[in-house]
Structure 1
Amino acid sequence: MASHDKKTYNRIINALDDGRRALGRARLTAGLIRFAGITLVAIAGVILWALMQRWLRFYSVEVATIA
C-alpha cells in the first residue's frame, strides 16, 4: 500500500511540474507576442509619422505658393 501512495504522490508531483512548465511557456509566449505587437506598432507609427511629414510638407509648399 505504501508503494501505491508513493506512485500517486509521484504522479501528482509530475503533474504539478508539467503545469508549472506549461505556465512558464505560456508566459514566455505572451511576452513575445506583446513585444512583437509593441514593435510592430512602433514601426507603423514611425512610417505614418514619415508619411505625414511628407504630406504636410507638400501641402504647406502648395499653400505658400498660392498665397
Structure 2
Amino acid sequence: MSIKSEIKSLIIRKGYTIKDVADQLGEKYNKSYSPENLSNKLRRETIQYKEVKDIADIIGYKLVWDDKEQQ
C-alpha cells in the first residue's frame, strides 16, 4: 500500500477529511495549508516525517517504532 493510500485510509477511518486535517495543520503551522497541498504531498510522496507525525496526532494515532529484533 502506498503512503498516500495508507494515510488517506487512516484519515477517513477516523472520520476526518483531507480538508479537516489540512485546516488543523494550517492552524498548527500558522500558515495557509490547503487540502490540495496536502493531497499533492501525499500523491508525490514528498510529505515530511514531521507532517506525518502531526497528522497522526490530529486523527488520534501515535507513531511507534518497533524493534523487530526484540520479538
| Band of TM-score, shorter chain | under 0.3
Higher relative contact order (CA 8 A, sep 6+): 2
TM-score normalised per structure 2:
0.21
TM-score normalised per structure 1:
0.22
